[in-house]
Homo-oligomer: A and B are copies of this chain.
Amino acid sequence: MTTSEAFPVHPAATSSAHSTAQPGNLVLLLSFDQKRFIIRLEPGRRTFTHLGAFVHDDLIGRTWGSSIETTSGYRALLLEPGLADLMRQLKRGTQIIYPKDAAYIVHRLSLRAGSRVIEAGTGSAGLTTALAWAVAPTGVVYTHETRPDVFKVARDNLERTGLLPFVRMYQIDIEAGFKASDVDAVFLDVREPWQYLAHVRVALRPGGFFASLVPTANQAIELLRGFDAHKFADVTVEELLLRPYKPSAERFRPDDALIAHTGFLIFARCISDEEDVMRWQKRERLRYEARIKSQVENEAEAARRAADREETGKRYPRLPLP
């Protein structure tokens, strides 16, 4: 851990100590026209927007949940940003992992304060933010990103949210392996995750958790093949759909649009390399494949018999000749 305190503190912990916005706090300003701004309060500073400037000194000491005024007289609501707000307001260099997926990945990887987790690639640090939030103040995220431009965006984002102390960032290709070992969990968001399963084995502590997110069925299929080759068991593939509703009491209904696909979420456990992995496949898969197999055999058999009958019919007429 990179913090120097005797007793490490979560970066979000400071805000809850006070009922008012304090210098150094990240604040969320929700304008009357429903735009969202996240800024860090610094005495003497001003933040300029299309609605006029927010004067930081006017915000410091104001109760959370009250409204303030810009220099142009527009009102905005002063709120503490939640984790979801932080993720939404990240500067983006690449497509980010959506909060719905990030929350579920954190859950399925069983992350907690103190966990050590590997991530590749970093991207815009959307998921990194959620991982660091979950493992702080005593855990670490080891994140890997090849592209220097993307790496910089990610670093800026983590610095801005105050989560950088809980992240070790590596601007490298993972072809040669990861920069940490004996970790609790590994998450891969790369084009060909199946290429790195041998490295995952090396980096994960025995029994650790593995997850990946891939957008296409072709990739999911390749990764499933990789699991058999590299001995990962207890595999699940899932997809999360978040359906937003109009929050109207008079006309309650689903929204017209939704994010229809972000990716297939794939989870697995790395087992001992002395085990026969097929033995531990999901029962459902075994049952399913057995059923298909017998179905194919039945149909082949039925076809064979039908052909027999037909041929027989031709050569040996059923009715005996007189």
Contacts and interface: CB of A to CB of B under 8 A. Distances in A.
A60 interface: no
A34 B114 contact: no
Interface in A83-142: 83-84, 99-100, 102-104, 106-110, 112-116, 130, 133-134, 136-138
Given A241-B240, A244-B238, A288-B246, A79 B252 contact: no
A38 interface: no
A39 interface: no
B255 A258 contact: no
B271 A66 contact: yes
A7 interface: yes
A303 interface: yes
Contact of A221 (B63, B104, B133, B252): B252
Q: A-side binding surface: helix, strand, loop or mixed?
A: mixed
A57 B214 CA distance: 41
A249 B224 contact: yes
B271 A148 contact: no
A173 B307 CA distance: 10
Interface in A199-218: 205-207, 209, 215-218
A303 B146 CA distance: 7
A302 interface: yes
Nearest to A273: B65
A253 B79 contact: no
Contact of A217 (B253, B281, B292): B253
B302 A147 contact: yes
The quantity of this chain's copies bound in the complex is 4
A314 interface: no
A152 to B, nearest CB: 13
Interface in A1-46: 7, 9-10, 12-13, 16, 19-20, 30, 32-34
A289 B251 contact: yes
Given A79-B269, A104-B100, A112 B242 contact: no
A245 interface: yes
A218 B269 CA distance: 25
A61 to B, nearest CB: 12
A66 B275 contact: yes
Nearest to A77: B280
B79 A34 contact: no
B134 A108 contact: no
Contact of A137 (B113, B115, B209, B288): B113
12 contacts: A32-B280, A34-B283, A66-B274, A103-B108, A106-B107, A146-B302, A149-B302, A217-B220, A237-B247, A238-B243, A241-B243, A258-B260
Given A82-B109, A246-B285, 20 more contacts: A30-B234, A63-B272, A66-B272, A66-B275, A77-B271, A79-B269, A84-B108, A102-B107, A104-B104, A110-B133, A146-B302, A215-B253, A218-B250, A220-B252, A236-B247, A239-B245, A248-B289, A255-B260, A258-B260, A260-B260
